[in-house]
Amino acid sequence: MTFPPPPPDRMHLQYQPAPPPQQAGPGGAYGPVQLRPDQPLPGQAPPPAMSMAKPGTITGIQVILWIFTALAGIGDIGSAIGLVSYFNPFSLIGLAFAVYSTVQALASGIHITRGKRWAWIWSLVSAILGLALSSVAIVFGIIFIETGWVSLLVGIVLAGLYGTLLGLLCSKSARQWILMHRIQRGEVQLPGAPGGFAPGAGPERPATRPGAATFAAVLAGLLVALTAWAGFGSIRSLIAMNNGGYGIEYMAFGYGTGLVLVTAAAGVLAAVFALITALGVLRGSFGARVFTIVWTSILALPWGAIAVAQTMDFVRYSAYALPPEKTQWVIGLSRQLLIAALLIALFIAVLTPGVRSWTPGKGAAALVVVVQAPYGPPPQQGAYPQQQQYPGAPGPQQPPQPYSPQPPYSG
């Protein structure tokens, strides 16, 4: 004779249920998954092996961006006051640049702490542009040292800030910070994760270069020639204005040194950037395409505004110019309009499907991060990822049976 089975309310005292499978997503919204113990899950805290403390470089980047936010905010107020007191169409360019700098520094300072890659790229491009502009301000202050010493001091301060920011952004700890957050968000696939791409797999480039990529490179080459011409003419006019000699372009007489300096700086920068774009697109570089989208969108607006304002002046006052002067005016104005049109055309060209297929980005699986598993090999299919075996602990539980064996009744 055997005893009856224990009551249902005491079954939990004999048989401990197996732990539930690991859930993915916030509150397990994505359901159970079969992953390695060291594989991060979106929406859940990463294991300690895949997290790091906030490095000092990120704090330094934030401090510099907050400084730029304050300086740009002061520039916004000053530009707005100057625009109200003495309205000038060219003052809108300064106001637009000040507002852009404020938005960029504020947004990047907030999101780079969260490991957002776009904030890091935006800050990197802005640091390169700011370093180039501050170098131009230093050169201008040296050339016109009697009256341009303020420009020299401002250029030195900005060059120090932008140079420090560029160095911090390119540091190893800052790049690791961005990569760690990309891993935690699931943007980078770790090796051995199910359902991912093969290691190194990514978009494939066509066997032959598309015509759109060649056309974009031709546009960049034309832009190099025209912007180099504009920059050289403006620099020559600045030197001639300082020395009082021959060689001043006709357009420099009507607009003074301010616009000529802007044209010289923008022309040299655009020539260098267009050369990088042409070589990068021909080689199929993804970074060159992204870089082109950024710098053309930044330079197209002010250059187009200057070209439109100069066109309006030509329509109003060209009848009063002598034939030789009018010819030089037409040549300079045509060059400005062509550069503005090429900037817009190049921006559109690098967004076409042909250029995008020729300059593919790296797939997420191409970035391999090796993380050591805390315990042994990965579990087999169907096992619970979080269930570990510790020394001294009992073996794995057997599934419950409908009736457990009981000792025979004696007596």
pLDDT tens-digit readout, 145-175: 666 677 778 888 888 888 899 888 988 888 8
The answer on 352 and 215 residing in a single domain is yes
Q: By C-alpha distance, which of 368, 294, 263 is closest to 121?
A: 294
**What is the pLDDT at residue 216?**
93
Do 178 and 216 belong together in one domain? no
Same domain, 177 and 240: no
The answer, yes or no, to whether residue 382 has pLDDT greater than 70, is no
- Note whether residue 404 is domain-resident: no
Instruction: Find the mean pLDDT for residues 185-190.
Output: 68
Q: Output the pLDDT for position 390.
A: 44
Q: Transcribe 30-61 into DSSP letters.
A: TEE----TTS--TTSPPPGGG--PPPHHHHHH
Identify whether 2 is part of a domain. no
Beta bridge partners of 31: 24
pLDDT in tens, 359-380: 887 654 444 444 444 444 554 5
- For residue 69, the surrounding DSSP H or E stretch is helix 56-85
Pair (181, 318) in one structural domain: no
Tell whether the model's pLDDT for residue 6 goes beyond 90. no
pLDDT in tens, 263-322: 777 788 888 889 999 999 999 888 888 889 888 887 887 788 778 877 887 888 777 777
Please say which residue of 336, 359, 382 terminates a domain.
Answer: 359
Residues 220 and 354 in one domain: yes
Q: Are residues 275 and 238 in the same domain?
A: yes
What is the SS3 assignment for 146? coil
Are 212 and 343 within one domain? yes
Shared-domain flag, residues 222 and 147: no
Confidence of residue 343 (pLDDT cuts 50, 70, 90): very high
Residue 249 carries which DSSP code?
Answer: -
pTM here?
0.51
Task: Judge whether residue 15 has pLDDT over 70.
Answer: no
Angstrom CA distances, 255 to 187, 200, 234, 397, stand at 51, 55, 12, 87
Can you give the pLDDT at residue 30? 64
Instruction: Tell me if 42 is assigned to some domain.
Output: no
DSSP character string of 163-182: HHHHHHHTSHHHHHHHHHHH
Paired residues of 24 in beta bridges: 31
Within this chain, do residues 182 and 214 fall inside the same structural domain, yes or no?
no
Compute the distance between CA of residue 244 and CA of residue 242 in angstroms, rounded to an integer.
6
340 and 240 together in one domain: yes
Q: What is the pLDDT of residue 62?
A: 92
- The verdict on residue 407 lying in a domain is no
More confident residue, 39 or 316: 316
Residue where one domain finishes, among candidates 359, 375, 391? 359
Q: Which residue has the higher pLDDT, 259 or 38?
A: 259
Reported as a pLDDT band with limits 50, 70 and 90, residue 46 is: low
pLDDT tens, residue by residue, 390-410: 444 455 555 555 555 555 555
Residue 400 in any domain: the answer is no
* Res 247 pLDDT > 70: no
Total domains, the chain: 2
Indicate whether 152 and 286 sit together in one domain: no
184 with 313, same domain: the answer is no
In whole angstroms, what is the distance from residue 94 CA to residue 100 CA? 10
What residues make up the domain containing 252? 208-359
Residue 28, domain member (yes or no): no
Our measurement of the distance from residue 50's CA atom to the centroid of its chain's CA atoms, rounded to an integer in Å, reads 24
Q: Which helix (H) or strand (E) holds 142?
A: helix 117-143
Higher pLDDT, 142 or 38: 142
- 7-21, 276-290, 328-342, 389-403: range with lowest mean pLDDT: 389-403
- Judge whether 4 and 407 are in contact, CB under 8 Å: no
* Last residue of one domain, picked from the residues 154, 188, 222: 188
Q: Is residue 402 domain-resident? A: no
The whole-number pLDDT of residue 346 equals 93
- Residue 380 domain-assigned (yes or no): no
